[in-house]
Structure 1
């Protein structure tokens, strides 16, 4: 009995050791050696979709293209949308292996083209008005006409139903006033007439918040201005999931003092919004010097480098359509690569059946869309979405082998885009 008992213990011990240390469960380090040498999807300096010269010359240095649209581009008769206008634009941008940032507007200083739907403009109760904005004759919508409020809200509800989560669309920017940037500089600002009421704006943002589950959307920091915006306190916007864009980044006094307009507006909404919502903007057009100098390295415009602004505001992108005229492609690429997320693989181990991987974000902002580490094409159930700068996450993936392949995969990329990573 004693001998049989010892044999049983021996067999159990062998089984236990085999379970723990058997070939199929022994993890061995897998060598990875690579670097991030391209601008990452959904980050970088964005150029206008119509800037063919820059887009052709810069290639994959550009990952984002920006385009304005008017509402009348897409709809004329009530309830009938010409979605093909948007689809054609998105397809054109995607054909260059880029993603789109879209912004719809009613008012663009110097443009008198009717931007409200024809069925609204032709209604006998609609006041057909123009005004002088920035010393230019400009079309300004009649916000006393209630159907305009109804249409604008319904437009984005319908837009979300069709495009929310569309990988061709990196984000949309929304707002009112000139360029949809929440101002009417040198123009007639009358709430409820030339600018929407704060009550309507509040309702509009709640609809945006409810309808967009996946696609990022953002609002100008000028909405912090209580003359225009509906937010009288920080609490009123805290639970709304919009990001921010600043259309005058890096002008002379942008962040010199805490009370400066731009910086105080960022702080009103909270720079920490970057943890969940995409931050960006556009280089300042306050002066020709601004445009020519914003990417000068290391001093930038007015004594501060662009990279210092990227770090301070956790920027993922910035619109810089004129930079191809002022900077060499190499500098545009370098500046673009300073923005957004960057993933570093700290360790990669594999057994016959599984892989263990440690990944950190060494960038300045998270990735705002789902992306999953994958071994041999098998994706982790965990996503890299939302991984903050300097944070690390561990993955266990049910695929391994002696020479496993590794990639970061996402359904929110267009054909030809790749999320890179560094490892050594």
Structure 2
């Protein structure tokens, strides 16, 4: 009988073994974390977002579009419940962003202060009351009667048609519910329930809000929809993500109507685990907020803005509108601070260890991964993972196929989850093969998903090298 190697000697032997020998032993091989791995700054589905295409080179993977409802819902007969649509403007937005490898986030509005009326003309012709106002410097827009029966019916029909058109569309990252209120932000302030200021109450009733949200819920089963107001509904509140459009100014606890206290009141503080959080950096602070870290400069007569890092970590935000950042000169300090915040947003995937035994020509290739999320939020779509093989000279050999890794279930702050992939490989006997991995973007030219690993992009751009292996004969 061959003597057994003492445990200590075995451990030392594995420690000093070549990568192929280590893998062949079936041991787990620890991977090195790299918080500045190539591509992390432009990871898809997360980060800061410009209005359309950016101009100054700051990295991004999503683009924002506002669209007037009147450009999309072009006619109808409320009595008959029939409507006509023209999707040209939405199609143009998706095509424009996709040409740059990006996805869109968008909002459709009926009333945008300072812009032309966006309520479909056929509804106005049917008698929908329209209200003039001078708030927010407005002189051109008008607010419809938000509780008009024909309007609610038309909005329900439009939401259904929109879902049929784009639910699961790979060029769309997230949809904000929009439609109702100023800027589609689900409020009519100052024309709200507090009439002590002498302003009328133009708010949509709770019943009508629930009708719209119910339609969004049924129309979108694949693409995530986000709502501005955490208190918009109790019936459907867990079905949506949320967005804070005054981020890092009216976000944190301390004032009851700030965003996160409203999330707390609604019992939604854990909703980020399954639904994305987004919003917009308060526009007035965008130009100066990256002069220091983590607090932006003060404004509004000395009223301090909130701690950006605390705001991101509290809300588990994944994306934020920040148009100024992408379309103005940005100095080195501002660039560095903004990029630091961008990396804080959303997910950060890290393969912490790999087990890759050497296969034979007749036995399948099997790999196990321990996968962590070191970000603040999940990866909200279960995009496929693809495994492929390079030879010792880093020349492409073949793809081994795709699988689902269950990305949305890899939560920040949780222990690493073990994911496995086994397949017939069809490789010839040889040494020094490399197994590589990527997350497959649904856009053929989409920005790659980068892992926070030292071997990200080491042997092939956009791919993570998992390890080296040999193929032997029996």
Give the TM-score category using the shorter length. 0.7 to 0.9
Q: Structure 1 residues 110, 258: CA separation in 2 closer, same or farther (over 3 Å shift)?
A: closer
Matching of residues 2-401 of structure 1 within 5 Å? 27=26, 35=34, 36-37=37-38, 38-49=41-52, 52=53, 55-58=54-57, 61-78=59-76, 79-111=83-115, 113-123=116-126, 125-137=127-139, 138-175=141-178, 176-187=180-191, 194-221=202-229, 223-224=230-231, 229=232, 231=233, 235-238=234-237, 240-251=238-249, 254-255=251-252, 257=254, 259=256, 261-269=258-266, 270-285=268-283, 288=284, 290-301=285-296, 302=304, 304-324=306-326, 325=328, 327-328=330-331, 329-351=335-357, 352=359, 353-376=365-388, 377=399, 378-391=401-414, 392-399=416-423
Against the structure 1 CA distance between its residues 382 and 296, is the aligned structure 2 distance closer, same or farther, given a 3 Å change threshold? Answer: same
Q: Which consecutive unaligned segments of at least 5 residues does structure 1 have? A: 1-23
Question: Cα 1:259–1:140, aligned 2, differ >3 Å: closer, same or farther?
Answer: closer
Alpha-carbon shift at residue 242 of structure 1 (Å): 0.6
* 1:156-194 superposed Cα distances (whole Å, 9 cap, x missing partner): 111111111111111111142111112223347799994
Relative to the length of structure 2, the TM-score reads: 0.73
Residues 192/92 of structure 1: CA separation in 2 closer, same or farther (3 Å cut): farther
| Structure 1 SS opposite 2:447 | coil
Tell me which of 411, 414, 419 is aligned to 2:449.
419
Residue 212 of structure 1 and its aligned partner are, at CA, apart by 0.9
More helix per residue: 1
Report Cα offsets for 1:18-56 as digits up to 9, x if no partner. xxxxxx98636678668433321011111101xx5xx13
Distance 1:316 1:188 in 2: 30
Query: Is the Cα–Cα contact under 8 Å of residues 374 and 397 in structure 1 kept in the other structure?
Result: no
* Gap change, CA 1:296 and 1:418, over 3 Å in 2: same
Q: Closer, same or farther in 2 for the Cα pair 1:346/1:326, shift >3 Å?
A: same
Q: CA deviation at 1:409?
A: 2.2
Rounded to whole Å, the distance in 2 between the matches of 1:101 and 1:274 is: 18
Query: Cα gap change, 1:314/1:144 in structure 2, threshold over 3 Å: closer, same or farther?
Result: closer
Shift of 1:332: 2.9
Change (3 A) 1:193 1:310: closer
Query: C-alpha distance in 2, partners of 1:381/1:280?
Result: 25
- Aligned to 1:354, the other structure's residue is in SS state strand
**Aligned mates of 1:271, 1:241 — CA distance in 2:** 14
Question: Which runs of 5 or more residues in structure 2 are unaligned?
Answer: 1-22, 77-82, 297-303, 360-364, 389-398, 455-474
Match of 2:56, SS? helix
For the residues of structure 2 that align with 1:177 and 1:303, how far apart are their CA atoms?
25
Deviations for 1:394-417, whole angstroms, at most 9, x for unmatched residues? 111114775243223235445232
Task: Report the TM-score, using the length of structure 1 for normalisation.
Answer: 0.81
> Do 2:260 and 2:315's aligned partners in 1 also have CA atoms closer than 8 Å?
no
Which structure has more strand as a fraction of its residues?
2
Deviation, 1:216, is 0.9
Distance 2:87 2:305 in 1: 45
User: Residues 222-277 of structure 1, C-alpha deviation per residue, up to 9 Å, x if partnerless?
Assistant: x52xxxx4x3xxx5344x311111111122x6425264533311222322110011
Please, which moves more after superposition, 334-343 or 324-333? 324-333
Alpha-carbon deviation of 1:330? 3.8
Q: Quick one: structure 1 residues 243 and 147, their matched pair in 2 at CA, closer, same or farther if it must change by over 3 Å?
A: same
Is this contact kept in 1: 2:441–2:449, CA < 8 A? no
